[in-house]
Amino acid sequence: MAYDERLAGRVRRALAPRRDVVEKKMFGGVCFMVAGHMCCGIVSDRLMIRLGPEQANSLLGTPHVSPMDFTGKPLRGFIYVGPKGIASSATLRKWVSRAVQFAESDPPNKRRTAR
């Protein structure tokens, strides 16, 4: 599945001040990792946001927000924000900022060691 490269560029610009961002192809789109944690991404023309189960559930009534359900079953702690919900730079930055705050709140990932 292709993803909106223009939207990905907008997200890259929103995350540009950070030095701990890594891009990965994921979910048929692109995902942005912050401080080693999944933060946000683009699936088709929607912004995917990782917020944790409580915060994600509390935002489901917000206009242009839907559960992330690309497999047919909603993924806990993730939401999609549709194109109209991220039309302006300010609204896009608001959503990306929420995802960054959640990623920063995660404890550091433990390095996997070879057995």
CATH number at residue 30: 3.30.1460.30
- Residue-number span of the structural domain to which 101 is assigned: 5-105
Give the Å distances, CA to CA, from 78 to 39, 74, 111.
Answer: 10, 8, 24
DSSP tag of 61 = T
Is residue 50 in some structural domain? Answer: yes
Q: Average pLDDT, stretch 104-111?
A: 76
Q: What is the pLDDT of residue 106?
A: 80
Task: Report d(CA 112, CA 115) in Å as an integer.
Answer: 9
* Total count of domains within the chain: 1
- What pLDDT is recorded for position 113? 47
113 located within any domain: no
Residue 100 lies in a domain: yes
Q: At what angle do helices 89-105 and 5-15 cross, to 10 degrees?
A: 60
In a domain, 94, yes or no: yes
Residue 92 in any domain: the answer is yes
- Has residue 115 been placed in a domain? no
